[in-house]
Amino acid sequence: MRTQVAIIGGGPSGLLLSQLLNLAGIETVVLERQSRAHVLSRIRAGVLEQGTVDLLTRAGVGARMMREGHRHAGCVLTHDQQMIRIDFAAACGAEVMVYGQTEVTRDLHAAQDALGAQHVHGVEHVVLHDLDSASPHVSYVLDGRSHRLDCDFIAGCDGFHGVSRKSIPDSVRRDYEKVYPFGWLGVLSETPPLHEELIYASHPRGFALASMRNPMLSRYYIQVPLGDRPEDWADAAFWQEFRARMPCHLSERLVTGHAIEKSIAPLRSFVSEPMRHGALFLCGDAAHIVPPTGAKGLNLAASDVHYLSAGLVAHYRDSDSAGLEGYSVKALARVWQAMRFSWSVTTMMHRFPEHSAYDRQMQRVELMQLASSPVAQRLFAENYTGLPF
């Protein structure tokens, strides 16, 4: 089998890239290890920057998002009992959209089906070959049989644990990583959201986040030690701890319920450079991981896809390879800006085991500066709502 672009990974970045390329008349084949049902069962963040909203709309998958998503013109940070609202619209004239990643993925699958795009699920033993040549190809096993996919380019959209990044030689690749000494215990419940906007809470007991998916589906998180397991936390224990970390006037109106999903996500910052090696281009989590504090994971994947799809379209339509040649440098510039923002918010809002009284005072000062400085609020708002693609 042959295609123009082989896409490794059928998550949102791989699907969005395939959608944009197929709309431009460029052939793709998406190879995915898991079943479609498994991909759609993943619970992920749902805060979309304006650039991501625009890109999804351009890809023809924005209609349901615009109907069912929730535009947010601000968010709230709390310090003990103090509420600090960052007004995005006033600070930088932008907004974000709250719309779950699962729904984005569902919309992309429907659009891909309508286009007749080629997807192969259940692949195993994927290997990338001849990346430095003019004739790269991918081998894989499906239902016990070996297959070969020839292509012009390979897009590695297969996440942190995928094969794509590991196919770049160690002598070429440089990885940067920071592992945080805690995780987020997340609960999904069929209850009304605590607040109309996201709440990021800094508290002596640890960080907490109140978010939502729709008017009767809420997503809540608390900071927990890395050694904790979801089964260590009964629903009642979670709600008690979450309530303790919220300002009193909010915790009093919290509606609790059965947790329909409960999981713990470790926090890390990770960047792999370069994001291109020969015919291979990395996108999304294959190249970078950000703590969820800054709501950047899916949005960074979208900006990668924007740069890569534009480069591929220019290559095939105009024989112009400048976009492909500059892909890694351009994508990484935006990645590192998002890394800085996510790191700064994570450091400001969480309790670290090694923090001294001085460190905790500096966290308080950072939050008080956000409360009082329009300049600080604008910088926060610009980064949260998304730097230009």
Which residues are catalytic, by number?
Answer: 72, 200, 292, 296, 384
Phi, psi of 294 (to 5 degrees): -90, 0
Residues 6+ apart with CB under 8 A from 68: 99, 103, 214
In this structure, the number of other CB atoms found within 10 A of the CB of residue 365 comes to 11
Residues 6+ apart with CB under 8 A from 344: none
